[in-house]
């Protein structure tokens, strides 16, 4: 019996003009794209600075639409990868924490968290508190 491909949601910050937020996702797509379905919240999205709003495939969308699309991906994932590096660097990454909360109510989803190695075991750092 063939198993459906693993569905992986790539949760993490999407900061305007921050290439790192794109590159880590692209690395997952490059490495796993043929073996898994990658639910990338950046897919088709672009921020248009002149309009000061997000577009999806060239059409303007509001925050409700973006959140609904992200929740759709979280709800369908078998595995969710959380990149918390921006949070560790001081970026509030509120959207990532909302994604984590949404995923936390699901008992059937696996979670993988990316944190910086220098925070491992830190007693007064944010990862010790969370």
> Which pLDDT tens digit goes with each residue over 44-66?
888 888 888 888 888 988 888 88
Residue 8: C-alpha distances to residues 29, 33, 90, 122, 127 (Å) = 10, 10, 26, 29, 23
43: confidence class by pLDDT, cuts 50, 70, 90: confident
pTM confidence score: 0.81
- Give the helix/strand (H/E) hosting 37: strand 36-39
Q: Distance between CA atoms of 40 and 63, rounded to whole angstroms? A: 17
Query: In the structure, what pLDDT confidence band is assigned to residue 80 with cuts at 50, 70 and 90?
Result: very high
Q: How far is the C-alpha of 19 from the C-alpha of 87, rounded, in Å? A: 16
The single residue listed with the structure tokens 């709800």 is: 75
Cα–Cα distance between 119 and 128 in angstroms, integer? 9
Contacts of 3 (CB under 8 A, 6+ apart): none
Task: Using the structure block, give the residue that is written with the tokens 């790539």.
Answer: 10
């Amino acid at each position: 019996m063939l198993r459906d491909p693993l569905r992986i949601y790539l949760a993490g910050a999407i900061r305007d003009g921050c290439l790192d937020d794109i590159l880590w996702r692209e690395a997952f797509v490059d490495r796993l794209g043929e073996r898994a379905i990658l639910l990338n919240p950046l897919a088709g999205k672009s921020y248009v600075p002149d309009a000061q709003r997000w577009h999806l495939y060239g059409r303007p969308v509001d925050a409700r639409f973006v959140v609904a699309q992200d929740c759709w991906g979280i709800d369908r994932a078998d595995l969710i990868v959380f990149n918390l590096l921006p949070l560790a660097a001081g970026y509030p990454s509120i959207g990532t924490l909302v994604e984590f909360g949404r995923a936390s109510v699901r008992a059937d989803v696996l979670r993988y968290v990316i944190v910086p190695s220098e925070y491992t075991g830190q007693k007064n750092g944010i990862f010790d508190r969370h």
